[in-house]
Amino acid sequence: MKPCLMRAAAIALIFLAVVAGAPAALADELDDALLALQERWAQAMYATTDSDARREALARLTDEADELAARHPRRAEPMIWEGIVLSTFAAERGGFPALRLAKQARERLEAALRIDPNALGGSAHTSLGALYLRVPGPPFGFGDPDRAEEHLLAALQLNPTGIDANFFYAEHLFEMRDHAGAVRHLERVLAAPPRPGRKLADEGRRREAEALMRRVRAAMSEH
């Protein structure tokens, strides 16, 4: 082979190697960024006792999550986490700013569903269910127990042992006065296997499940 052709072939091979490696590199970057975002969110939610510090941390995370989703517009996972961060920030803010944040969270989660409803074990369905469960209903908000149940059941179909889907469905059943059903799903939360890299979040969710279980048991004892 002539030297010029050899050089051209070598350049082509290098180019192909770079192109072939790009998706893997982007996937690794996204996985690392999502893990870091999840850890900081859990730290803010479950290990930050000062409410002002928690709001400040969540405000920073909303910007980080938005930038991450913008870098990966065809992936559902960063959109899901942007929705999660926005919805929890909304709960911390309260008032009319909270409703604006909750609507933004709903938009991100619905966009994630359109891309991949199975992403993160159906977490878009879980988070939408939680939003419809906890946001006030009309005329001030968009809360809707029927839509909450629809999304939470979809999440449970995708991930029957999911700690978050079972927790929020138990909360929904408690609101509907189905105390026995709430107990069943809370027991699944407490028995759920640990998620890799989610130790702090899992511990926090289990504490919430134990507190809700006490409320359910108290309500059952009154009847």
pLDDT given at position 95? 86
Domain boundary among 148, 178, 193: 148
Domain boundary among 128, 148, 168: 148
Mean pLDDT by 10 residues, the chain (223 residues): 45 36 56 95 95 96 97 97 98 91 98 97 97 94 97 98 97 98 98 90 96 97 84
Own/partner long-range contacts of 92-100 (Cβ < 8 Å, ≥24 apart): 92/51, 92/54, 92/55, 92/58, 93/55, 99/135, 99/140, 99/141
Domain boundary among 105, 122, 148: 148
pLDDT given at position 27? 61
pLDDT given at position 21? 39
pLDDT given at position 99? 94
How many domains in the chain? 2
Q: Assess contact for 75 and 30: CB atoms under 8 A.
A: yes
Answer yes or no: is 7 within a domain: no
Domain containing 217 equals: 160-223
Kindly compute the dihedral angle of the four CA atoms of residues 109, 110, 112, 117, in this order, to the nearest 10 degrees. 110
